[in-house]
Amino acid sequence: MTSAKEAADRWRKRLARQRTRFERARAEAERHFPVITELTARLFSPALLDAATRLAAQTFLTLIPLLFAVAAFAPPAVRDQLLDSLRTVFGLKGTSEEQLQQALRGAGDLRQTTGIIGVLMALVSATSCSRAVARVCERAWLLPKAGTRVAAWRWLLWIVAWVAALVLQGPLRDGFGTGLWLGLPLTFAASVTLWWWTTHLLLSARIGWLPLLPGAVLTAAAVTAMSFSARVYMPAALNRALAQYGSLGLVLMVLSWLIALCAAVTFAITAGAVLAQGPPLDAYLRRPRTEQHTG
């Protein structure tokens, strides 16, 4: 009995020493590497993954109606280019490609039933996705929500710009006919520009351009890597899901991919904000402008 108590005491003392060493190491890391400590704390926050999941859900709920509205009212050349871009993004072939063609080319019937009011409603509802992206950016920079009167037109502009960017994905990724060797750097450069502009726009210009650049580069890298890798595994996965579960399988596969994509975007934007405000990048970037816009 005595030996058991002695063994327990030894373990408690050992654990106490280990805890003390850990606390010292953490304090030393916080002193020498404050950015890494802050970055780790932010990236492992449960709220961050929750925000990514909400963003994926909003993207899914708004993307499908918006694509149908664009396919219904856009000229045939734009609709065909949209189809080609979606095929290129996901590397679609076989059954999944046929399903997409039938859906988009049959969307012309919506013009008869909904009219221009349907397009306007799709655009207005799509701003929920804009608001979700804006909230991710605001959380990353620890800013309050912007006033509606200041931000509303920005939400609509962002939706229009991203639909245009999606339509152009096909030729861009193909390097305008030259192949992947030019398409990959072009896609990355365009993605950096688009995400740089996105964060500046949806933050209502409360942060200067230069501090937003690290987040734009990280986000573009994550999105480019995921989108090009999707061309490898998504075609077979989508066709398999369609064969086993029908349209429900297709929905689940797309939603799963969107969750992964939105998690990568959320983590990258947050990491960029933390890195831009800590050493050594803060010495090279202008201080963020954090005046609050009210509306």
Predicted confidence band of residue 295 (pLDDT cuts 50, 70, 90): very low
Residue 264 in tokens: 């990568």
Residue 214 within a domain = yes
Residue 61 within a domain = yes
pLDDT the model gives residue 268: 94
Residue 92 within a domain = yes
Tens digits of residue pLDDT in 247-267: 777 778 888 888 899 999 999
Range scoring the smallest mean pLDDT among 27-36, 97-106, 127-136, 236-245: 27-36
Predicted confidence band of residue 293 (pLDDT cuts 50, 70, 90): very low
Residue 288 within a domain = no
Range scoring the smallest mean pLDDT among 8-12, 17-21, 211-215: 8-12
Q: Which residue has the tokens 């990568």?
A: 264
Tens digits of residue pLDDT in 219-242: 999 999 988 888 788 878 888 888
pTM of this structure: 0.79
Range scoring the smallest mean pLDDT among 105-119, 224-238, 270-284: 105-119
Residue 32 within a domain = no
Q: How far is Cα 50 from Cα 223, in angstroms, rounded to an integer? A: 19
pLDDT above 50 for 111: yes
Residue 48 in tokens: 């961050």
* Mean pLDDT on 194-212: 93
Domain count, the chain: 1
Instruction: For residue 88, give Cα distances in angstroms to 69, 85, 256.
Output: 20, 5, 19
Instruction: For residue 21, give Cα distances in angstroms to 17, 27, 35, 75, 249.
Output: 6, 10, 21, 67, 50
pLDDT above 70 for 274: yes
Number of residues assigned to the chain = 295
Total Cβ atoms within 10 A of residue 12: 10
Tens digits of residue pLDDT in 94-107: 677 777 777 666 55
pLDDT the model gives residue 242: 80
Residue 88 within a domain = yes
- CA-based nearest residue to 267, from 145, 136, 168: 136
Sign of dihedral through CA atoms 203, 130, 154, 79? positive
pLDDT the model gives residue 290: 46
Q: Which domain holds residue 212?
A: 46-283
Which comes out higher in pLDDT, residue 91 or 276? 276
Q: Percentage of the chain with pLDDT > 90?
A: 22
Which comes out higher in pLDDT, residue 290 or 245? 245
Q: How far is Cα 157 from Cα 175, in angstroms, rounded to an integer? A: 26
Average pLDDT, the chain: 79
The three-point CA angle 92-98-103 to 5° equals 105
pLDDT the model gives residue 148: 74
Residue 230 within a domain = yes
Residue 12 within a domain = no
